[in-house]
Amino acid sequence: MHFSHDPSGTTQTMMSVDEARERILACFAPLTPRRTPLLDALGLVLAEPIIARESIPPFTNSAMDGYAVRASDTRGACPDRPAELRVIGEAPAGTPSPRWFIDEAIPLRIESGMAIRIMTGAVLPPGADAVVRFEDTDESDTPSTSRSRGVVRVRREITTGENVRHAGEDILAGSIVFEPGTVLGPAHLGLLASLGYSWVLVHPRPRIAILATGDEVVPIDWPLEPGQIRNSNSTVLAALVHQTGGIPKLVGIAADREEDVARHLQYTHDADLILTSGGVSQGDYDRIKEFLRARGRFEIWQVRIKPGKPMAFGFVADTPVLALPGNPVAAVVAFLQFARPAILRLLGRADLEPIRVRARLTKPVENRGRRRHFVRALLHRRSGELWVTPVPQQGSGILSSLVHGNCLAVIPEEWSEAPVGSEVTVELYDPSIAAAIFAAES
Ligand SMILES: Nc1nc2c(c(=O)[nH]1)N[C@H]1C(S)=C(S)[C@@H](COP(=O)(O)OP(=O)(O)OC[C@H]3O[C@@H](n4cnc5c(N)ncnc54)[C@H](O)[C@@H]3O)O[C@H]1N2
Ligand code: MOO
């Protein structure tokens, strides 16, 4: 099948970015959840509710090193008139109950006029309702005197509950800690650890196969012969997959022959999505779309997007294939618009969108051809306002434009040009860039 007669060859009949996105995303659902070791779950999406089996903290304990006391015993205490308490024992962390300094058969309990030396994290002894820090006693002058003297002088009035951490004040046993859909960050893993979870049910990371195509494309560490270029696309795509939360698997470079594409695709049998680059345009040797037509299922070819127009979408066996254009910038832009949200959906993420802000153009941008134009640009703030400056070279082979820019400025398909000062939507794919722009006034 040759595509030169395909009616979708004109921009009018080409699919819009929004429709292509919708149709592609409809083919993706969160991967079947898998029980996963806690540390491997960082960044993944929880697939079960977490109900606390225990309280955190599990017992009422001291927040400071000092003395467990009855707050009422310190009423009116000040440096000149300290409250004098008898120290009857100690409560180190890690023991279920305090112990007497001298051998006593009866259980240790604080009554009026008594104190117990206590360490941070130790169980609050029975009878105590507050902790006074060493710094607020005469112990700060002569360390650890109470053990020998059996007496401590408290120089300050302490309120009930001071320096006490109550059982369940962070999380109460029986409460819902996390709902399914929660994205697990370091602190989420910490709470799960405190609750005794060493495995959790999460949506696994999708495996994304990456195939480069083109007779001219060679591995990056080969010497270049005339007419050849190195395979930079697979590296960029693998890094993008990794950054999005997927597991990239490079399956090599296929020559512009259908059999060679088929041969390489054998290595993609365990993939949740196949990304190819190159071979989707009008050229005599552009084999990917013919391959999808002949040996797979063909859903979409050509989208009103700039750069990235010749991209295609289909299936090989039951595995979705996103065929990205060969031009390096077109491959990245098409990845960000179509592959990124698909991978996020496989991960079970609900929010598939990048950070979007509105900013004014500092330079005009042309947009002939009625495609949605993703302009590589620099977002910056001047006198509290957001401005966006297109980088000088916008060619879809100029990979460095993505290094010099920090965002994509979106020129709508209906605009034939965007004048200076016009307000456009800007997409940010790196939250740290957004943070830097909003933190620094330039
Ligand atoms: N007659 C037409 N020609 C082209 C059209 C068109 O509509 N009509 N579209 C142009 C656009 S837009 C793009 S984008 C490219 C995309 O073409 P392909 O996806 O078929 O890609 P190739 O032709 O294989 O390669 C394009 C370009 O990219 C380089 N390339 C390819 N693979 C890699 C790689 N792995 N790493 C680095 N660079 C790669 C390749 O050498 C070419 O220079 O088609 C236009 N043509
Ligand atoms: O996709 Mo092409 O790169 O639009 O120029």
Shortest-distance Cα residue to atom 4 of ligand 2: 307
231 shares its domain with 311: yes
Question: Is residue 89 located within the same domain as residue 125?
Answer: yes
End-to-end Cα, the chain, rounded Å: 55
- For residue 244, what is the enclosing H or E element? helix 232-244
- Nearest atom (ligand 1) to Cα of 309: 12
Does residue 370 share a domain with residue 305? no
Which domain covers residue 105, as residue numbers? 61-165
CATH no. for residue 374? 2.40.340.10
How distant, in Å, are the alpha carbons of 97, 249, 259, 299, 398 from that of 311?
69, 20, 21, 11, 18
For the Cβ of 279 lying below 6 angstroms from any atom of ligand 1, the answer is yes
Please identify, by atom number, the ligand 2 atom nearest to the C-alpha of residue 333. 1
CB of 348 sitting under 6 A from ligand 1: no
Report the nearest atom of ligand 2 relative to the CA of 308: 1
170 by Cβ neighbours in 10 Å (0-12 / 13-18 / 19+) ranks as middle
In 3-state terms, what secondary structure has residue 110?
A: coil
> Rounded to 5 degrees, what are φ and ψ at 276?
-115, 160
Closest CA to 268 of 343, 211, 332: 211
Task: At 266, list the tokens.
Answer: 């054998």
Q: Considering only CA atoms, which residue is closest to atom 2 of ligand 2?
A: 307
Question: 314 with 338, same domain?
Answer: yes
Same domain for 360 and 273: no
Cα(107) to ligand 2 centroid in Å equals: 81
Query: Is residue 331 within 6 Å of ligand 1 at its C-beta?
Result: no
Tell me the pLDDT of the chain (442 aa) as tens digits: 233 334 444 676 799 999 999 999 999 999 999 999 999 999 999 999 999 999 999 999 999 999 999 999 999 999 999 999 999 999 999 999 999 887 777 778 999 999 999 999 999 999 999 999 999 999 876 666 556 668 999 999 999 999 999 999 999 999 999 999 999 999 999 999 999 999 999 999 999 999 999 999 999 999 999 999 999 999 999 999 999 999 999 999 999 999 999 999 999 999 999 999 999 988 888 889 889 989 999 899 999 999 999 999 999 999 999 999 999 999 999 999 999 999 999 999 999 999 999 999 999 999 999 999 999 999 999 989 999 999 999 999 999 999 999 999 999 999 999 999 999 999 999 989 888 888 876 5
Determine if residue 161 is left, alpha or beta; phi over 0 gives left, psi from -120 to 50 gives alpha, anything else beta. left
Pocket lining: 214 vs ligand 1, CB cutoff 6 Å: yes
Shared-domain flag, residues 266 and 384: no
Do the domain assignments include residue 351? no
Q: What is the pTM of this model?
A: 0.91
307 CB less than 6 Å from ligand 1? Answer: yes
Question: Is 268 in the same domain as 213?
Answer: yes
Q: What distance in angstroms lies between residue 184's CA and the mean position of ligand 1's atoms?
A: 39
ipTM higher than the 0.95 cut: yes
Q: Give yes or no: residues 121 and 190 share one domain.
A: no
Number of compact structural domains in the chain: 4
Ligand 1 pocket test, candidate residues 228, 253, 264, 327, most atoms within 8 A of CB: 327
Residue 116 lies in a domain: yes
Whole-number Å distance, alpha carbon 149 to ligand 1 midpoint, is: 86
Whether 283 lines ligand 1, by a CB cut-off of 6 Å, is yes
Residue 281 and residue 256 in contact, taking contact as beta carbons nearer than 8 Å: no
**Final residue belonging to a domain, choices 203, 219, 249:** 203
CATH code at 83?
2.170.190.11
